[in-house]
Amino acid sequence: MMAVDSSMPAGIPPARGRLRACVALSELTWFRVGGPAEVMFRPADVADLSKFLRRLAPELPVTVLGVGSNVLVRDGGIAGVVIRLGGAFARVGGDGAEVVTGAGALDGNVALAAAARGLAGLEFLSGIPGTIGGALRMNAGAYGREMRDVVVAAEAVDRGGTVHRLGPEHLGFGYRQTAVPESWIFTRATLRGTPDNKTAIAARIDEIRAARERTQPVRERTGGSTFKNPPGRKAWELIRDAGAANLSRGAALVSPQHANFLINTGGATAADLENLGLAVAERVHAASGIALEWEIHVLGAAAGAGPADCEGKGA
């Protein structure tokens, strides 16, 4: 039986999945900063998501999050509905050379599932700490491979609740982006591997994990690569050469391990991290004339400008 929760803002329809008001996003993002989601929805399945979106008041904004490994949520939080895909979207299956995965599955689990079936080509996913939905949106990649090389089909739900089946020709992958409209929510993907020896695949996954530990601050509160690499250049080199690698704002620092990562050393606000990113970009521009572009998605409202109903709650 679906009931409308009286603490919900107007325009939120009932659903089979979990609906909560004023949920702290600082607990759900890698940076461990950010204000509340006005409403958090974890759909029970695709039909629940589709029905919810169809009935949701059209003026309410919708934002989807994976595990928040490439986002900076501002201190005022996110108005409207924030959607996170729950357990029903984390299943990984398929047969032959294909891996069919829910968009809520962790990339690392998909890499391991493919390895267990003796499918090579998906090892790069073991080094990316996000979900398949985030990987599709970002065309995530590492070590010379990216989603574009392995995705054969995907499924997404648009803001009106219509479910779309997408082939590679619809996905329009580019550098850390896809042509699929921002408001569409990926729910599933079919990836293709190539048969190989299981021990060799497992060894490549181990190598990738070890390389990650050496080169990236994987145990810190971070948001992954802050800026996209400009054509033919590396963002971290531009930051180093501009003398911006030792900048800080409050408890937000440029990572001493990798200059294109920002870290929250504890107690930083989203504003500290965003201002630090802007200061780094300004230094690089002054030194090289190159305008760095955020790779991290900066979402939501500044402190004091977020969802009014959540003032003092969920921050």
Ligand X SMILES: Cc1cc2nc3c(=O)[nH]c(=O)nc-3n(C[C@H](O)[C@H](O)[C@H](O)COP(=O)(O)OP(=O)(O)OC[C@H]3O[C@@H](n4cnc5c(N)ncnc54)[C@H](O)[C@@H]3O)c2cc1C
Is-contact 244 254, C-beta < 8 A? yes
Q: Which is nearer to ligand X, 65 or 166 (CB)?
A: 65
Which one of the listed residues 16, 145, 148, 176 is annotated catalytic? 176
Q: Which is nearer to ligand X, 16 or 212 (CB)?
A: 212
| 189: exposed, middle or buried (Cβ count in 10 Å: 0-12, 13-18, 19+) | buried
Q: Which is nearer to ligand X, 71 or 273 (CB)?
A: 71
Question: Which tokens hold the place of 242?
Answer: 């501009």
Q: Which is nearer to ligand X, 50 or 69 (CB)?
A: 69
Closest CB 286 distance from ligand X, rounded Å: 27
Interface with ligand X by CB under 6 A: which residues? 30, 64-71, 85, 103, 127-131, 133-135, 137-138, 140-142, 185-186, 216, 218, 222-224, 297
Closest CB 229 distance from ligand X, rounded Å: 11
Closest CB 300 distance from ligand X, rounded Å: 11
Contacts of 301 (CB under 8 A, 6+ apart): 35, 74, 76, 77, 78, 79, 307
Contacts of 189 (CB under 8 A, 6+ apart): 100, 101, 103, 132, 136, 151, 153, 154, 155
Closest CB 74 distance from ligand X, rounded Å: 14
Q: Which is nearer to ligand X, 96 or 168 (CB)?
A: 168
214 tagged catalytic: no
Is-contact 69 107, C-beta < 8 A? no
Is-contact 93 119, C-beta < 8 A? no
Determine the Cα–Cα distance for residues 54 and 12; give it in Å rounded to an integer.
11
Is-contact 50 156, C-beta < 8 A? no
225 tagged catalytic: yes
Closest CB 127 distance from ligand X, rounded Å: 5
6 tagged catalytic: no
Which one of the listed residues 69, 225, 255, 274 is annotated catalytic? 225
Is-contact 185 157, C-beta < 8 A? yes
Q: Which residues does the annotation mark as catalytic?
A: 176, 225, 295
